[in-house]
Amino acid sequence: MSGSTPALLWLLVIAGLSIAYYATKPRHHPPGPRPLPLIGNLLQMPKDHDWKVFGKWSKIFGDCVYVRVLGQPIVILDSLTAAHELLGQRSAIYSSRPRLVMAGELTGFAQGLALMPYSPRFQSLRRLLHRELTANMLQKYWRLHEDESLILMNKVLQDPTRLLEYIRHYAGSVILRVTYGYQTAPENDRFLLLSEKVMAAFSLAARPGAWAVDMIPWLRYLPSWFPGTEFKRKAAKWAQLNMDVVEGPYIWAIENQDSASLIQPNFLTTVLSQSPAVLSAEEKDLLLWSSGSLFAGGADTTVAALSSFFLAMALYPEVQATAQAELDKVISAHGQVPQLSDRPSLPYIECVLREVLRWNPVTPLGVAHLLTEDDVYKGYNLAVGTIVMVNVWSILHDPLSFPEPFEFRPERFMINDKKAVETLACAFGFGRRACPGVHFAESSMFIAIATALFQCKISDPVDEQGEPIRRDVEYQTGTIR
Ligand code: HEM
């Protein structure tokens, strides 16, 4: 007995150490749907409404789901905690963007901030934008937002059937005025037309799985006469379009710095006034692409959010009536059209804005981040080069945080204000890549919403008998919804 005790003790110690070792040892990777050899989870990846499928996976596998598509590891995070822990607290290594050879490199879209890899150039661009886009700095543009909102609503009242087109014009005009001091033409503005072509080109260039060169990057080095290299000609054409849209308004603004047609204040003139008289090539590049990034980041997102607002008002007339009653009280006090300085006195309308962003998030899966170093999370290995996405849709439709999540209920932000508002921040992304235009977006949306509520009654269209025409509204699936 006395001889077997040390042996038993040793066995227990070894067993204990093994359990501790295996409990803390990084396992291969987080759980996820079972992959096939070589192609991985390719066939299981959803074609549309990805966030719904990913939401179902997270119920089975947890808030960190792993898939591999043709060798590319992807992690989908389905909780605010996981997103903050990785993209927020470890943002030094979770802030790059996935490589898109066709859309990013060959067509040049990765020269703009949103697709740019994490780099010193990225940091300089962000710093510049951040400095000019704080809530304080943006106050000088309030008047401009107010004027453009009135123009928008006057046009909508004249012809409500062109609502979406007018919202596009509004979002584009506000950004062109703020960024370059450029006043758009009421119809067929050359820069807005060009930007629509570029947006269309971008969605084609960024279509997942559409371009062999995205999977086999060395194809880009094939000469243009080589069979099957049509993609190179397309890329060259789109690259030119992209340069036209970035350089066009920039050159216009530089040439018109002393002209009366330049609207003041504007971003470009402000930055120029703080720069040396003659810009170095690097300074010029920063200015060109920071201005260009504002348009790329801000136009379609604002359009998506405002379109959801009009839809919500048609579907929820009681919300509209409550918001209008609040507005009436404030407006009758000063007897003018709504202004951005009214914002603190309009808490219900503030909640309408928040609910628009929650109810139908503009980017349901955020914008993908890329991990730039090996990492370990909850004992799982995450390899350098892993694409990390956050299911923003799922977080903003979690019934524990937002009861009856599919209903449009602005009141939810009044009752449980702080926590709900903190959660909503995920609609603008995470860590070092979080949207730098958040204050701009909110001012632009708030005044458009208040002006619309002040000027009109928003409802479904009616047929010849005066009966409302109800339609199921289908959103388009894409990075921006
Ligand atoms: C409702 C409106 C908007 C929403 C919901 C929105 C949302 C987002 C999201 C989710 C991202 C990616 C964040 C991440 O990667 O974690 C982003 C990036 C960006 N947004 Fe916004 N945005 C809006 C409006 C704007 C506006 C008005 C501007 C400019 C004036 C703007 C400029 C940008 C830029 C430049 C980026 C790229 C940042 C980077 O990659 O580092 N956004 N936005």
Q: Beta strands of 403-471 (E only): which ranges?
A: none
Do the Cβ atoms of 436 and 135 come closer than 8 Å?
no
Residue 185 sits in a domain whose CATH number is 1.10.630.10
User: In the numeric block, which tokens belong to residue 449?
Assistant: 């919403």
Look at residue 199 in the predicted model and tell me its pLDDT: 87
φ, ψ of residue 64 to 5 degrees: the values are: -135, 95
Question: Given the DSSP bridges, would you call strands 72-77 and 387-390 parallel, antiparallel or unpaired?
Answer: parallel
Q: Has residue 4 been placed in a domain?
A: no
Q: With a 6 A CB cut-off, is 302 part of the ligand 1 pocket?
A: yes
User: 9 pLDDT exceeds 70?
Assistant: no
Give the residue ranges of DSSP H helices in 335-380. Answer: 347-359
Q: With a 6 A CB cut-off, is 298 part of the ligand 1 pocket?
A: yes
Look at residue 27 in the predicted model and tell me its pLDDT: 58
Q: Has residue 91 been placed in a domain?
A: yes
The band of 313, judged by pLDDT with boundaries at 50, 70 and 90, is very high
Q: Has residue 166 been placed in a domain?
A: yes
User: In the numeric block, which tokens belong to residue 262?
Assistant: 């330049």
Q: Has residue 330 been placed in a domain?
A: yes
Look at residue 23 in the predicted model and tell me its pLDDT: 47
CA distance to 106, 220, 232, 235, 239, per residue, from 223 (Å): 14, 8, 9, 14, 17
Q: Write the pLDDT tens digit of every residue in 140-154.
A: 999 999 999 999 999
Of residues 378 and 48, which shows the higher confidence score? 378
> Which residues partner with 206 through β-bridges?
none
Return d(Cα 301, Cα 479) in angstroms, integer: 10
Q: Has residue 467 been placed in a domain?
A: no
Q: What is the C-alpha R_g of the chain?
A: 26
Question: Best mutation site among 96, 148, 435 for ligand 1, i.e. most ligand atoms within 8 A of its Cβ?
Answer: 435
User: 2 pLDDT exceeds 50?
Assistant: no
CA–centroid distance, 19 to ligand 1, in Å, is 46
Q: With a 6 A CB cut-off, is 293 part of the ligand 1 pocket?
A: yes
pTM > 0.85: yes or no: yes
Half-sphere exposure in the Cβ direction for 97 (13 Å, CA): 23
Look-up of token digits 């279509």: 207
Look at residue 459 in the predicted model and tell me its pLDDT: 92
Look at residue 1 in the predicted model and tell me its pLDDT: 38
User: 104 pLDDT exceeds 60?
Assistant: yes
Half-sphere exposure in the Cβ direction for 295 (13 Å, CA): 30
Return d(Cα 66, Cα 73) in angstroms, integer: 7
pLDDT mean over 38-66 = 93
Of residues 415 and 251, which shows the higher confidence score? 251
Q: Has residue 108 been placed in a domain?
A: yes
Q: Has residue 336 been placed in a domain?
A: yes
φ, ψ of residue 72 to 5 degrees: the values are: -90, 115
Look-up of token digits 């509004």: 170
Total number of domains constituting the chain: 1
Residue 426 annotated as binding site: no
Q: Write the pLDDT tens digit of every residue in 291-301.
A: 999 988 888 89
Query: If you average pLDDT over every residue of the chain, what do you get?
Result: 91
Task: Name the residue with the closest Cα to ligand 1, atom 21.
Answer: 435
What are 248-252's contacts with CB under 8 Å, separation 24+? 248/190, 248/191, 248/194, 249/176, 249/179, 249/180, 249/182, 249/191, 249/291, 249/295, 250/180, 250/287, 250/288, 250/291, 250/292, 252/180, 252/182, 252/191
Task: List, in order, residues 6 or more apart from 44 with CB less than 8 Å away.
Answer: 33, 67
- Residue 269 CB burial class (10 angstroms; 0-12, 13-18, ≥19): middle
Q: In which domain, by residue range, is 385 found?
A: 30-455
Q: Has residue 427 been placed in a domain?
A: yes
User: In the numeric block, which tokens belong to residue 296?
Assistant: 């790329």
